[in-house]
Amino acid sequence: MTTIAETPAAGGLFGFLDRSHTIAKPGFSRWMVPPAALCIHLCIGQAYAFSVFNLPMTKLIGITQSAPGDWKLTELGWIFSIAIFFLGTSAAVFGRWVEEGGPRRAMFTSGLCWAVGFFISAIGVYVHNLWLIYLGYGFFGGIGLGLGYISPVSTLIKWFPDRPGMATGMAIMGFGGGAFIASPLSVWLMQKFSTPTHVGVAEAFMGLGIIYLIFMWVGAAIVRIPAPAWKPEGYTPPVQASKLITTSDVFVYDALKTPQFWLIWWVLCLNVTAGIGVLGQASAMSQEMFPGHITPVAAAGFVGLLSLFNMVGRFFWASTSDYIGRKNTYFCFFVIGTVLYALVPWTGSIGSITGFVLCFIVIISMYGGGFATVPAYLKDMFGTRYVGAIHGWLITAWSMAGIFGPVLVNYIRQYQIDHGVPKAQAYNVTMYVMAGLLVVGFLCNLFIKAVHQRYHMKPVDTALATAAEAGREVAASFGSSRPAGA
């Protein structure tokens, strides 16, 4: 095995990023990999907290209030949308590159893109050019998000073949938790650099960029992939495939041709659509459904509570799926979710804030659980070899849901109000529509069967892919061993 220490000039300046230099030595603890993954996901989870910058960025000229020439909230809303668009696009386009190049190269690049996105955005704020922020946070940041989101997934699955749900749940939980850190940290940085004549957004962006770069590169340094024949102590891999867990691999582009991929795509899309629309409107909805009882301060607390359960649900449900199976876990989401969405209008009609809050914390835990369970679902259906790349394509379902969920909630609410429905009841139809979406999701999940073996990689294809992987690693080692100037 080649190590960085053995080959100082490994593969050129960035040789240490090669997959071959990421292979774990005997005795490496697999429990080092979840913190490495968390280093990435805790940072990119900042995306959920980007809205803390929106209001300050509308006052960059006027300082205390918006002045002519200041940016409008509608213009600023595009920053997040562009980032989410490039998250989905980059995850799909670079999924195979991430899979084949190994997690360290992907994490390193993700950290670089994420930090560069903040640096360019800081310049954009400084010179007051919104297009630079679209380019920085939207484009570069979006690519950092996409690469970072998928980069540790297949590595964790390979390290934890006995508990893939728990392992990916841990990492994806970090994405939910990233907002918790980013929100108070961003506010603190802005306060630190604000003066009576200056809003400290640019400096906060610079600070976040530096902090995230260091944090993400630490994750890239820690991460390792298991040696080819490695398996956990006491773990015996199943010799025969069970009903819904394959022992074969499916090539990434063949996976896209299977009905199973698209059924899981819809399962994720519908589960996310139902959750994301509510998450975005939680504050306004709680106040409008319980006027005079839930104040803006209490509504902010409600949003915090939802974020907490969004994070906890990721770990809880993904870990549970290791015991009850992925398909059954999604059945839980769709059955319980449908019942709870249908109950929400009733909690409003009887004025039960407790019932309302309970319904939504469970719903949001299942929204997070849907994200965290899906990589293990893909692994069960398509095998381990290309699961990262296939997951990358699946992330487009999130981008789609991110657009349609909030639009659906806002549109239905406005339609209701325009037709004379009181604000307190304006969300009732929305809740029934969400319940309906989950019924469709239930049906999609019901139709998921094992992937037909004609899509499985043949032994010769697997051997060729393994040889190609080994070839890249050998080439990297040879490249690394060349004397300087050769």
Partner 1 sequence: MSNTSQSGTKPWQLALAWVWVGIPLAWGVAETIANAAKLFH
Among 52, 63, 181, 362, which residue interacts with partner 1 (rule: CB under 8 A)? Answer: 181
Cα(229)–Cα(241) distance, integer angstroms: 19
Q: Binding residues for partner 1, how many (CB under 8 A)? A: 39
Among 130, 245, 308, 403, which residue interacts with partner 1 (rule: CB under 8 A)? Answer: 308
Question: Quick check: 351 and 293 in contact, CB under 8 A?
Answer: yes
Among 23, 38, 116, 364, which residue interacts with partner 1 (rule: CB under 8 A)? Answer: 38
For residues 48 and 386, which CB has a smaller minimum distance to partner 1 in the complex? Answer: 48
Which residues, including other chains, have CB under 8 Å from residue 52's CB and lie 6 or more apart?
Answer: 182, 183, 186, 187
Among 13, 127, 239, 297, which residue interacts with partner 1 (rule: CB under 8 A)? Answer: 297
Position 36 contacts partner 1 (CB under 8 A): yes
Site for partner 1 in 384-413 (CB under 8 A): none
Cα(301)–Cα(363) distance, integer angstroms: 17
Among 93, 130, 256, 305, which residue interacts with partner 1 (rule: CB under 8 A)? Answer: 305
Nearest one of 289, 306, 269, 304 to 405, comparing CA atoms: 269
Among 244, 245, 284, 357, which residue interacts with partner 1 (rule: CB under 8 A)? Answer: 357
Position 161 contacts partner 1 (CB under 8 A): no
Q: Supply the minimum distance, in Å, between the C-beta of residue 387 and partner 1.
A: 22
Nearest one of 232, 175, 164 to 382, comparing CA atoms: 164
Question: Quick check: 340 and 359 in contact, CB under 8 A?
Answer: yes
66 Rama sector, left if φ>0, alpha if ψ -120 to 50, beta otherwise: beta
Position 429 contacts partner 1 (CB under 8 A): no
Q: Supply the minimum distance, in Å, between the C-beta of residue 315 and partner 1.
A: 12
Cα(44)–Cα(308) distance, integer angstroms: 17
Among 9, 30, 245, 465, which residue interacts with partner 1 (rule: CB under 8 A)? Answer: 30
Task: Single out the segment in contact with partner 1 by CB under 8 A; choices: 37-45, 65-73, 96-104, 433-441.
Answer: 37-45
Cα(354)–Cα(473) distance, integer angstroms: 57
Q: Which helix (H) or strand (E) holds 157?
A: helix 153-159
Among 26, 196, 237, 420, which residue interacts with partner 1 (rule: CB under 8 A)? Answer: 26
Q: Which helix (H) or strand (E) holds 344?
A: helix 326-349
Position 150 contacts partner 1 (CB under 8 A): no
Among 5, 13, 27, 240, which residue interacts with partner 1 (rule: CB under 8 A)? Answer: 27
Task: Single out the segment in contact with partner 1 by CB under 8 A; choices: 51-59, 112-120, 192-200, 305-313.
Answer: 305-313
Position 131 contacts partner 1 (CB under 8 A): no
Q: Supply the minimum distance, in Å, between the C-beta of residue 106 and partner 1.
A: 18
Q: Supply the minimum distance, in Å, between the C-beta of residue 212 and partner 1.
A: 11
- What the block records as the tokens of 382 is 């398509």
For residues 271 and 310, which CB has a smaller minimum distance to partner 1 in the complex? Answer: 310
Q: Which helix (H) or strand (E) holds 369?
A: helix 353-382
CA-based R_g, the chain, Å: 23
For residues 94 and 217, which CB has a smaller minimum distance to partner 1 in the complex? Answer: 217
12 Rama sector, left if φ>0, alpha if ψ -120 to 50, beta otherwise: left
Among 5, 13, 64, 233, which residue interacts with partner 1 (rule: CB under 8 A)? Answer: 233
Cα(193)–Cα(319) distance, integer angstroms: 42
Residue 216: how many other CB atoms lie within 10 Å = 29
* C-alpha angle 156-266-37 in degrees, rounded to nearest 5: 20
Position 28 contacts partner 1 (CB under 8 A): yes
For residues 184 and 351, which CB has a smaller minimum distance to partner 1 in the complex? Answer: 184
Which residues, including other chains, have CB under 8 Å from residue 153's CB and lie 6 or more apart?
Answer: 168, 171, 375, 387, 388, 391
Position 174 contacts partner 1 (CB under 8 A): yes
445 phi and psi angles, rounded to 5 deg: -65, -35
Among 5, 13, 29, 420, which residue interacts with partner 1 (rule: CB under 8 A)? Answer: 29
Q: Binding string, 234-263, against partner 1, x = CB under 8 A? A: x-----------------------------
Residue appearing with tokens 């929106």: 54
Task: Single out the segment in contact with partner 1 by CB under 8 A; choices: 25-33, 393-401, 435-443, 472-480.
Answer: 25-33
Site for partner 1 in 186-225 (CB under 8 A): 218, 222
Cα(127)–Cα(92) distance, integer angstroms: 33
Residue numbers at the binding site for partner 1 (CB under 8 A): 25-32, 35-36, 38-39, 42, 174, 177, 179-184, 218, 222, 232-234, 294, 297-302, 304-305, 307-308, 311, 357
